[in-house]
Amino acid sequence: MYKYFLRERLRNRNFIFWCLAFPLALMLCFHFVFGNLSTSTEVTTLNMAVIYEGTDSMYNRSFETMVDGLTEEGSNGEEALFKLNDYSKAEEVKEALINNDLDLAFKVYDDKVEVLISKDYSDMDIAVGKAVADTFMNNYDMMATAFEENPQKAMELISNLGENLDFTAAKKSEFAEETPNPYIWYYYSSFVMGICFNAMNGVDMVANLKADAGYHAVRVSVSPQRKLRLIISAYCAYLTIALGINVIQLLIMKFALNVPLGGSILKLVAFVLACNLFALAFGVVCGSIMKGTIDARGNKITAIIMTSVFLSGEMVAQLPGMLERSVPIINDINPATVMNMALFRLAYSTGDFDFYINMIKIVLMAVLFITISVLILRREKYASL
Amino acid sequence: MTEIIKVDGLVKRYKELIAVDNFTMSVKEGEILGLLGPNGSGKSTTINCILSLLEYDKGSIKIMGKEMSPKAYDLKAQIGVVPQEIAVFESLTVEENVDFYCGLYIKDKALRKKYVDEAIDFVAIGEFRKFRPNKLSGGLKRRLNIACGIAHKPKIIIFDEPTVAVDPQSRNKILEGIKELNDNGATIIYTSHYMEEVERLANHIVIIDKGTAIAEGTVDELKNMIKTGELISIEVKGLDNKVVDKIRDLPNIFRVEYEEDILKVEAGNGKHNVLDIVNLIQNEGYAMRKITSEQPTLNDVFLELTGKALRDE
């Protein structure tokens, strides 16, 4: 039975599409839209020069002070953001940019700062240059006032400005070795969506084992097989396929899309196992209690999954954060959000606490739904045909 | 013959609706029992109760002398079911489907392989064994459906309307196959609303209507229950009403119709019904073109017992 349940699932195009192909297709779309995750998070020291075109000494001095702060190494041994290169003429700077000897340059006027980029510029060069220029221009009025009132304090303020640049979303102390890319959530969400679609397998399991839900189940129900044996065979077969699919997805995520997945394979396996068990059992329970044809039940489950995945931030990554502020209970009970959070914490959190909290939620939900599903399928002696 | 299935006083209600009402029947070992009734008469509900797929309100069902229940695994092992709907996996091949369902009954791999091969050969779909069901025609799918139900060589086989939407050629093959299964020793319950099939196959027939067994017996016994013994049809032009009345007055004749040059007469059991009518028409000076005489069908039996045709609904 296990063998045929397995074979039947493997050849089921619908299942393979929703659980394997669709999430991967979304991830690939994100990859092409958002770019390579590994390169976009790297901030290396950039070769930079400054050209002062203006006559306002206060403006020039303030910018110089800020840039000086960004050319120093961090107290934790972090690399400096810039290496300042001396050029006497603007033409020399332009030539250095064309020759790629410089990554970027700032042109400081009396009231604005312009960013010049090299011939082979990267997205990071633009992002950093723009962040520095914008931060300076946005804060200059405050700095000028501070200079008039307390020059010493103003110097401190300007040199600290660089630390507040917003091209890095989080401080290193909160996260492990890597800095999370804001788009990473979409990849996790797509992966979790694939797992959630495993609930469709649960519905099909109902069609195969519950006589009032499918014609196959009539034949299975009149056979001398014990229900529990059938249930265990089906669970094992469906879980095997789901795990196989997840392994493929995780390998692609890790090695082709550079999505961070944390360092613990054991925890990752535990996570995937618990999530799939929950999704399957959830599908069985919903498929059993819903009315209508098996296709209609499948459609209803799809709607539930889509809603759950949407609320977890599949389309709008900020949505869970917004819900956390207004109705946090939704994040707590939405399986897709809990799974996303567990995966995110597994990849980024320095401590295990947050990961385990989410895992406990998933395991509890899985145990609850598995118990209900077995009771429904096993204890129902008679079909309600 | 030993009684292999005994249904006694079966009652099944769906809230207000009584689907099966005090239904009683028995099936003897080695016979083909035809359960005949129109759609919605309670045939499938009765079968589902016998198979313990449905819980019933009253009565008892015994198979091989033992009470049937959802946990009567030893009895279930002796039963094969061919449901009305085609219950096969679309993503498995013909051979895999038969092997899967046979595997629910037979654990021994070598024996199962033998049984699967035999079942596939029996329904003559050997050349399609590597095909998936969606590549098969309706008739071949039906045959696969049968192979899945009989592969484990059950003692009792229940066919629930197995020829619905099947072409005449496949239908013949299916009916021949059922007869052969019976010849090989299987006891068969065959439900249908096609009276010709039941008449052709069954040794014993139970006619069911509104959940109640309204008549049972062999084909001849059932036909003898009604007064119509012969249906005579004669093509004759311009027959006078007086002649029609004279025919009506003949002995053993109880219904005469004359429309569009066709005279239709229903007569009771008698040896010379046709001769008497033909002589009378000839003596009146009319020429006849075509004369047919038919025995009543099970539909006539059903019509006379219930006042409606089997396929009215």
CB within 8 Å of chain B, chain A residues 273-332 = none
**How many angstroms separate the first and last alpha carbons of chain B?**
36
Q: A4: which chain B residues are within 8 Å (Cβ-Cβ)?
A: 89, 92, 96, 99-100, 103
Residue B266, both tokens: 């229903």
Please judge whether A224 and B77 are an interchain contact, meaning their C-beta atoms are less than 8 angstroms apart: yes
pLDDT of res. A240: 93
Residue A184, both tokens: 């990473």
pLDDT band at A294 (very low <50, low <70, confident <90, very high): confident
- Read off the amino acid at residue A144: A
B204-209/B212-217 β-pairing:
antiparallel
pLDDT band at A380 (very low <50, low <70, confident <90, very high): low
- Read off the amino acid at residue B215: A
pLDDT of res. A368: 94
Beta strands across the sheet bearing B79-82: B79-82, B156-160, B187-192, B32-36, B204-209, B212-217
Q: How far apart are CA A294 and CA A291, in angstroms?
A: 8
Percent of chain A scoring above 90 in pLDDT: 26
pLDDT of res. A166: 45
Which residue carries 């066919």 as its tokens?
Answer: B159
The string of pLDDT tens digits covering residues A23-80 is 999 999 988 887 665 554 455 788 889 988 888 778 888 888 888 878 877 656 667 7
User: What is the dihedral sign for C-alpha A280, A284, A287, A289?
Assistant: negative
The residue ranking higher by pLDDT, A114 or A37, is A114
A63 contacts: CB under 8 Å, gap ≥ 6: A50, A106, A108, A113, A136
pLDDT of res. B114: 95
pLDDT band at A167 (very low <50, low <70, confident <90, very high): very low
Provide the 8-state DSSP code for B272: S
| Dihedral angle of Cα A214, A219, A222, A224, to the nearest 10 degrees | -120
pLDDT at A180 over 60: no
Residue A198, both tokens: 């495993």
What is the distance in angstroms between the Cα of B3 and the nearest Cα belonging to chain A? 21
- Average pLDDT of B163-176? 84
Which residues of chain B have a Cβ shorter than 8 Å from any chain A Cβ? Answer: 48, 51-55, 69-71, 73-74, 76-77, 79, 81, 83, 85-89, 91-92, 96, 99-101, 103-105, 148-149
pLDDT of res. A113: 87
Q: How far apart are CA A247 and CA A243, in angstroms?
A: 6
Q: What angle do CA A189, A194, A200 make, to 5 degrees?
A: 135
- Residue A79 DSSP SS3: coil
| b/e code A59-90 from CB counts within 10 Å (16+ = b) | bbebbebbbebbeeeeeeeeeebbeebebeee
Q: Is A341 on the interface with B (CB under 8 A)?
A: no
What is the distance in angstroms between the Cα of A20 and the nearest Cα belonging to chain B? 18
Q: Is A218 on the interface with B (CB under 8 A)?
A: yes
Lowest mean pLDDT of A33-42, A128-137, A366-375, name the range.
A33-42
- Average pLDDT of B170-191? 90
The string of pLDDT tens digits covering residues B242-292 is 999 999 988 888 889 999 899 999 888 777 888 889 999 999 999 898 899
pTM: 0.72
pLDDT at A111 over 60: yes
pLDDT band at A158 (very low <50, low <70, confident <90, very high): low
pLDDT at B183 over 60: yes
- Cβ–Cβ under 8 Å, residues B25 and B7: yes
B253-259/B230-236 β-pairing:
unpaired
- Cβ–Cβ under 8 Å, residues A154 and A141: no
pLDDT of res. A310: 92
